[in-house]
Chain A
Amino acid sequence: MSTGDASGDPVILATAGYDHAIRFWQAHSGICYRTVQHPDSQVNALEITPDKQFIAAAGYQHIRMYDLNSNNPKPVINYDGISKNVTSVGFHEDGKWMYTGGEDNCARIWDLRSRNLQCQRIFQDSSPVNCICLHPNQGELFIGNQNGTIHIWDLKTDKNEHLIPEADASIQSISIDPMGTMMAAVNNKGRCYVWTLTGGRNDEPTQPHEKTTFEVSKRYALKCLFSPDSTLLATTLADNSTKIWKTADWTLHSELKDTAQRWVWDCAFSGDSQYIITASSDNMARLWSVDTGEVKKEYSGHQKAVVCLAFRDESIQ
């Protein structure tokens, strides 16, 4: 076993939600080793910076960055000046910039290289932004909104295309597989849409081609996520379960259910796609074996619903 790199633990798991606290867990043991407060607001989304120095928490009217490698219980950077809730946050793979989306109908790019925001960009949408997915080519943002539109924003050329898979069905989550060949989106009608993607090199925009569509739940779908090996797609659902689909033929691979579990809001795969961690309204996060559907670990400690998580794994070469 090689020792972890200088930037701390090789595996990081953080969860947050409505109890104004972000908890950090030892993913393999279920021990909570740190809690930081997120005052004044629930946490809508969590993301770890690529250099594993900070964790970003998106809340009401601000994004706060906490230091991952110290015990400082307070945020170290506070991004504000936004109205309404920030619903999603993510990073360029080299940490050059951060993207956020929120209920103020905007997707934003924050320049992380310097304090004075040399290069901030904004994309004005027509309805609240529910989710943003960065294409693995690091040059295009896929923005899903409450109207049911997916905008494809080419950051370099500033051009944008859009598609509407289903009218009047809010897009809840978008995922693109690590290879950049497939895109999936789920909506509040419990349907999942899948496209194959072409292009997306140099100045050429990515072209989606509709591939398949299927029902994942009778109720809401909250999140979809491709596994790191692109063979699976996880959908977390309002019917208190997570369903995992095979990307080869779009049949059900396994269903993750627990009697205590309620709405499942967020999920993350382990680096080898063997495990999945989910966050649920029953104040718990759980680690499941993807193949057997067993709960392997429970992360218990939150006082209210857990709606988001951030997870970082490493692969062993």
Chain B
Amino acid sequence: MAMMDNKAFLISHIRNSFITSDDTGMCEMIITLDDDKNRNGYTSDSGMESSENELSHSYDILPDMDYGAHRRRSNTSQRLERMKKEKRSQSRAKSITWKDSNTVYSVDEKGHLFEKKVIDGVEGQDRSPALSRLSELIQASANLGDNPFLEYAKFDGMASVGVPTKKIDIFLTMASAEDRSYPMSVVVVSSAKIQDLVGLICWQYTNEMREPVLQENIDMYCLHIAEDDGEVDVDFPSLDSREPVSKFGFTKLALVEKDVPTYTSKKTIIVTVNIPHRGFNKFPIDNTNILMKEILEKVLKRRKIKVRPGQCYNLEKDSVPGVSIDLECNLASMDTLEFVLVRENSSRGDATEVDNGKSSEMAESLTSHHYKSYLVSMVHKLRTNTEVQLGISGEKVDIDPVVSKSSARIFRQKAVTYNADNIASCDIFEDKDGGKSVFRLAYFNGHEFKHHDFEADTAVCNEIVQKFNNILELRLSPVRKEYVANRDRKLMKKRDFALI
């Protein structure tokens, strides 16, 4: 019989009530554990041997350790906790609000806060020190030398707020073997370009006094995609230095020194220029900042090649045939020291073909007045290129627009025909990236010389130009003669100017 003075019964009753009314299961866990510990502490006041004790163990409710502690928390409770945390971190900032006090300040009550200090004049006079910490640091850093990459410090995302940044782990391939597997974390503002990132990496590298010391020219370095273990992925080219950092999603990159010998090592660089079928020349260069056009001049001078009017020489990378390099670029940006000299409108192989294939050339010149049409695109100054059919024969040249639905009606190219006698010249005008070239067709419209520019694959361009030149050579029209004479005169004038 359960008595209300039976503590054990009461406790057990209360516990079970708690457990059955609690849906979370928390009470169950705590109370059951607690219960085991304290079970033996109570005796029944009524003196009865308690069969009632069994009440403390409900058969419906079994402690389940999997339940309770590891219950999935609802999204709401997670959010609530997050908010609480934020509030806590915010409230860590103490807030002190001004209160106007009506009481008059009294020294005795409030403490000696505003006593006047006696300024010791003598001590002050002595105090003028020879050096301050700042002066010392400035002198010390002057000895160390400035960080040559300081201008890139502004791309450091670590020191900026409110702008999007990217954290990238950079593997340093120039570092010692044990450091190489530990990347340097760089935080860059997302708006920076890849070359700015390279500069920032160099800046941070120098700041962290890493060894070996980097070269002061960021053009000497490029970024490659890297594996998680720092291995450089050589299957991909380096990231284009002009692209913004935000374009790439890589979190790991490797800083790689470009494959150009350094001039800081005091060794002169040897640039090799191959001249097709006439051997090669080597030039010692002591500075990678030399412009490619200066190297070209050196070659022409050494080879005593006279540049005849209308002829133009250029350099190509040995590894990339058919693409002439930008002569205004410097050697450091070339990634290579092997070049090939080419004459414009010819390619490396041409010389052989010309040598071996005189007969075929002859045959070609004989057939060149036969009609042949080419699909090329016409280059306009102010609008997009249009596809045209260029028909060439010994008598005339037809330019027929290829009708496409999308082309605007206003700008549609009219079909025109030029008499072959009015054609003045045809030359390659520009070599573009991707194996394309632009050639210029000059003609006489009865009053003056005009020209059209066309773009096509380099091979096609060369064929067309060759065909035209054969036709022009065969016909030798007065227009052609006048044009050539005009051009030579202009060139002479230019040369005279240059001499002055």
Contact = CB atoms under 8 A, between A and B. Distances in A.
A179 B117 contact: no
A275 interface: yes
B117 A314 contact: no
A10 B131 CA distance: 13
A126 B162 CA distance: 40
B471 to A, nearest CB: 62
Interface stretch (B119-127, B232-240, B302-310, B451-459): B119-127
Given A21-B162, A110-B96, A120 B132 contact: no
B58 interface: no
B140 A301 contact: no
Given A156-B107, A272-B135, A81 B115 contact: no
Contact of A81 (B97, B128, B134): B97
Interface stretch (A44-52, A72-80, A167-175, A218-226): A72-80
Interface size on A, as a range, is 35 or more
Interface in B120-165: 121, 124, 127-138, 140-141, 147, 150, 153-154, 156, 159-162
B110 A271 contact: no
B159 A270 contact: no
B95 interface: yes
Interface in A110-151: 110-111, 113, 115, 117-122, 136-140
B113 interface: yes
A28 B140 contact: yes
Contact of B111 (A27, A119, A272): A119
B211 to A, nearest CB: 19
Contacts, number: 167
Given A156-B116, A315-B133, A316-B131, A300 B154 contact: yes
A295 interface: no
A36 B161 contact: yes
Contact of B114 (A79, A93, A156): A156
Contact of B98 (A29, A82, A115): A82
A33 B124 CA distance: 34
Contacts of A252: none
B301 interface: no
B117 A137 contact: yes
Contacts of A37: 161-162
A158 interface: yes
B94 interface: yes
A76 B114 contact: no
A113 B110 CA distance: 11
Interface in A29-83: 29-37, 73-82
A201 B118 contact: yes
B119 A180 contact: yes
Contacts of B121: 179
Nearest to A297: B138
Contact of A136 (B111, B119, B140): B119
A34 B159 contact: yes
B113 A229 contact: no
B111 A178 contact: no
A242 B471 CA distance: 76
Interface string A10-23: 11000000000101
B426 to A, nearest CB: 53
B93 interface: yes
A272 B99 contact: no
B161 A270 contact: no
Residue among B99, B130, B132, B140 with the most chain A CB within 10 A? B132
Contact of B132 (A93, A96, A138, A315): A315
A84 interface: no
B116 A119 contact: no
Contacts of B433: none
B118 A137 contact: yes
A23 B162 CA distance: 13
B134 A27 contact: yes
Contacts of A119: 105, 110-111, 113
Contacts of A34: 159
Contacts of A229: 128
Contact of A97 (B98, B113, B137): B113
Nearest to B99: A117
Contacts of A316: 129-133, 136
Contacts of B117: 93, 136-139
B355 interface: no
Contacts of A208: none
B115 to A, nearest CB: 6
A28 B141 contact: yes
B495 interface: no
A296 interface: yes
Contacts of B94: 76-78, 115
A35 B124 contact: no
B100 interface: yes
Contact of A80 (B89, B97, B136, B156): B97
A30 B100 contact: no
20 contacts: A28-B138, A30-B153, A32-B159, A35-B159, A74-B90, A78-B93, A92-B113, A115-B94, A115-B96, A117-B98, A136-B119, A138-B114, A155-B114, A156-B107, A271-B134, A272-B132, A272-B134, A300-B154, A316-B129, A316-B130
Given A77-B93, A315-B132, 17 more contacts: A1-B136, A28-B137, A29-B147, A35-B159, A75-B93, A79-B98, A81-B98, A113-B111, A137-B118, A140-B116, A200-B116, A271-B134, A272-B135, A275-B134, A296-B138, A313-B134, A316-B133
Interface of A: 1, 10-11, 21, 23, 27-37, 73-82, 92-93, 96-97, 108, 110-111, 113, 115, 117-122, 136-140, 155-156, 158, 178-180, 200-202, 228-229, 270-275, 287, 296-297, 300-301, 313-317
